[in-house]
Amino acid sequence: MPKSQPLSQSKERISNQNSVPAAAGMASLSSSPEGSALLKNSPPDAIQEESTTNPTVESTMSLSKAVSSNTPEAEDRPSISTAEPKDSNTAMPSIPKATRTLTLTTHFGDIFWAPPNTVLIHACNTQGSWGAGIAARFRSIYPEAYATYWRYCVKDHDPKTNPVPTGSCLLIPPCETGAKSRRHWIACLFTSAKYGKAKDKPNAILRNTGPAVKEMLQQVRDAKRDGKEIAGLWMCKINSARFAVPWARTVKVLEDIEVEEGCIGDIQVWGYE
């Protein structure tokens, strides 16, 4: 396990706009639109229940059940009894699957302690800059992943003419080649177009966060389906420092995200506050 290192809150920005990083294996996974809600077809009288599964951690789980509402009235039924289904089950409406929402557990410590094959999740701008805060730590620990992020933002897209869409995610597989390098996936959530004073407003950052996380969950699911090893999802308190969005507001967005079938539904949040 790597040693704990002090949080980097340096105000200095590492200049990167003018330097082309060393090449690294491209690892962009394609975007897909937001997943559809499982209860889209629920009858209007569906009952919603909310329960907190574990009060000691920040977690929420929503369950929804549907009640039959489309049994035909007696007068609408055909008078010939053979038209009635013999097995009453065949007349039952299909019961929608329960939906679950994302569960967060909070942990005190450094996100870079994660075991191999963990996905480390952080918030990014679309300009190709990991210049400050935890992003600068990512840049120094994972230079080849940084090169992939930079190329995606600046070469595959163009910050001025064809920027990476906010509300999307770039999932970078483990790609460091150094002897001592850590084998981590890195999920870049594009929650703001710009950084510094030009960063998006908190409400826009929050609007971008839900779709970006959903896309990340889908990309992780697809990677697992392709046989890739994913040990779990670890996140820092995204948006909360340089992007200036109170952490509690981001938590609310995260805990409302519906987890699609086959997707990991738990994220460990690591930090020192």
Ligand X SMILES: Nc1ncnc2c1ncn2[C@@H]1O[C@H](COP(=O)(O)OP(=O)(O)OC[C@H]2O[C@H](OP(=O)(O)O)[C@H](O)[C@@H]2O)[C@@H](O)[C@H]1O
Taking CB under 6 A as the criterion, the residue among 61, 102, 119, 134 binding ligand X is 134
Helix or strand run (H / E) with residue 211: helix 202-225
# binding residues, ligand X (CB under 6 A): 29
Q: Does 125 bind ligand X (CB under 6 A)?
A: yes
Contact set for ligand X, span 253-272 (CB under 6 A) = 270-271
∠ CA 234-240-56, nearest 5°, is: 55
Instruction: Select 124 or 220, whichever has its Cβ closest to ligand X.
Output: 124
Taking CB under 6 A as the criterion, the residue among 24, 120, 132, 267 binding ligand X is 132
Q: Which stretch binds ligand X (CB under 6 A): 7-15, 16-24, 78-86, 92-100?
A: 7-15
Contact set for ligand X, span 92-121 (CB under 6 A) = 110-112
- Tell me if 236 sits within 8 A of 250, measured CB to CB: no
Q: Least Å distance between CB 98 and ligand X?
A: 32
Q: In this structure, what token pair is assigned to residue 107?
A: 């942990």
Taking CB under 6 A as the criterion, the residue among 60, 166, 219, 240 binding ligand X is 240
Q: Least Å distance between CB 259 and ligand X?
A: 22
Instruction: Select 131 or 211, whichever has its Cβ closest to ligand X.
Output: 131
Q: How far apart are CA 31 and CA 13, in angstroms?
A: 29
Q: How many CB atoms lie within 10 A of CB 191?
A: 32
Taking CB under 6 A as the criterion, the residue among 135, 145, 154, 251 binding ligand X is 135
Contact set for ligand X, span 175-234 (CB under 6 A) = 195-196
Distances (CA, A) of 113 to 8, 233, 267, 271: 15, 12, 15, 11
Q: Does 151 bind ligand X (CB under 6 A)?
A: no
Q: How far apart are CA 247 and CA 96, in angstroms?
A: 33
Q: Which of 247, 177, 253 is nearest to 212 (CA)?
A: 253
Q: Which of 236, 233, 30 is nearest to 117 (CA)?
A: 233
One DSSP character per residue, 45-104 reads T-EEEEE-S-TTSS--EEEEE-----PPPGGGS-SSGGGS-SSGGGGSPPPPPPPEE-EE
Q: Does 169 bind ligand X (CB under 6 A)?
A: no
Q: Least Å distance between CB 90 and ligand X?
A: 52
Residues that bind ligand X (CB under 6 A): 7-8, 13, 110-112, 123-125, 129-135, 137, 195-196, 236-243, 270-271
